[in-house]
Amino acid sequence: MIESFEKTRVAGSIAAGALDEVSKIINPGVTTEEIDNLCYEYINDNGAYSAPLFYRGFPKSCCTSTNHIVCHGIPSNKILKEGDIVNVDVTALKDGWHGDTSRMFEIGKISIKAKKLIETTHQSMMKAINILKEGIHLGDIGATIQEHVESNGFSVVQDFCGHGTGKSFHCEPNVLHYGKKGTGEKLKSGMIFTIEPMINSGNFETKILNDGWTAVTKDKSLSAQFEHTVGITKDGYEIFTQSKLVG
Ligand code: MF3
Ligand code: CO
Ligand code: CO
């Protein structure tokens, strides 16, 4: 438990640091490939490996998911433009352990609806993190997220979930972002997993594009996501992927 927390803390802080760097350059006119290069370089310069690169054939170092892309968007020569919203998802593998995190970025001025979607998504993740401690149920996490999201008129994606992480990128348990309080496995101190709700402004349904990776909303509505890697303790939790910038 000591080793797992210490090493995930280091990997998590490198992943968070990469997103802090992204926040400094992400603007209208920047391509998602430039963001990918920055993440690759930063993670490499910090003695870590970008876990997404070549993971099950994924071709890039991070995922860049714009507007109606739910997750696993592939960085390309696509130019970000005023009004876009984009999730950047990075995972650092350092000394055998993973730190996985994502944030939303606003490109210039965005619509009021997009802003509310992003705020609600972040709030839902933080509300779920705030209840974490040994003894609560996995279903409590999903229920907390679902309740907040649906009371704001948005929907929770069901086709993707959070996951255990550690020596492997993705492992048990599956962390659903919807569900019922008091159901599912009980959390034990020492567990490490991600919470990464994907929230749609329209219907929850998704489909995968022909590239085999890019997941989009079926109804082309906007989608937002945040992700932290967290560790469970007897009386609470630790966030391993906290930004070093404000917030
Ligand atoms: N970082 C993503 C997650 O949160 C997984 C990306 S896998 C990739 O689990 F292959 F698409 F990069
Ligand atoms: Co993840
Ligand atoms: Co991720």
Q: How far, in whole angstroms, is CA 241 from its chain's centroid? A: 10
Ligand 2 mean position, distance from CA 183 (Å): 22
Q: Which of 108, 61, 56 is nearest to 84 (CA)?
A: 108
Q: In DSSP terms, which residues pair with 164 in a beta bridge?
A: 171, 193
Residue 59: asked if its preceding bond is cis (omega within 30°), the reply is: no
Neighbours of 158 (CB within 10 A): 15
Greatest CA separation for the chain: 48
pLDDT tens, residue by residue, 161-172: 999 999 999 999
The confidence score (pLDDT) of residue 70 equals 99
8 Å CB contact between 169 and 101: no
The confidence score (pLDDT) of residue 2 equals 84
Of how many residues is the chain composed? 247
Calpha distance 83→95 (Å, rounded)? 39
> Predicted confidence band at 37 (pLDDT cuts at 50, 70, 90)?
very high
Closest Cα to atom 11 of ligand 1: 72
Q: Which residues contact 119 (CB under 8 A, 6 or more apart)?
A: none
Sequence letter at residue 48: A
| 75 close to ligand 1 (CB < 6 Angstrom) | no
Tell me which H or E stretch contains 94.
strand 85-94
The confidence score (pLDDT) of residue 132 equals 98
Ligand 2 mean position, distance from CA 129 (Å): 15
- pLDDT tops 80 at residue 1: no
Closest Cα to atom 2 of ligand 1: 89
DSSP assignment letter at 169: S
Calpha distance 113→181 (Å, rounded)? 29
| 63 close to ligand 1 (CB < 6 Angstrom) | yes
Ligand 3 mean position, distance from CA 222 (Å): 19
| 36 close to ligand 1 (CB < 6 Angstrom) | no
pLDDT tens, residue by residue, 199-214: 999 999 999 999 999 9
Counting ligand 1 atoms within 8 A of each CB, the residue from 55, 102, 240 with the most, and so the one to mutate, is 55
Span 62-69, average pLDDT: 98
Calpha distance 5→230 (Å, rounded)? 9
Ligand that comes closest to the CA of residue 55: 1
Q: Which of 226, 207, 231, 115 is nearest to 158 (CA)?
A: 207
Can you state the percent helix, strand and coil of the chain, rounding each to 5? Answer: 30, 30, 45
Q: What is the mean pLDDT of the chain?
A: 98
Calpha distance 84→108 (Å, rounded)? 8
| 52 close to ligand 1 (CB < 6 Angstrom) | yes
Q: At what angle are helices 2-25 and 32-45 packed, to 10 degrees? A: 140
Task: Kindly give the number of the ligand 1 atom that is closest to the alpha carbon of 194.
Answer: 4
Residues above pLDDT 70, as percent of the chain: 99
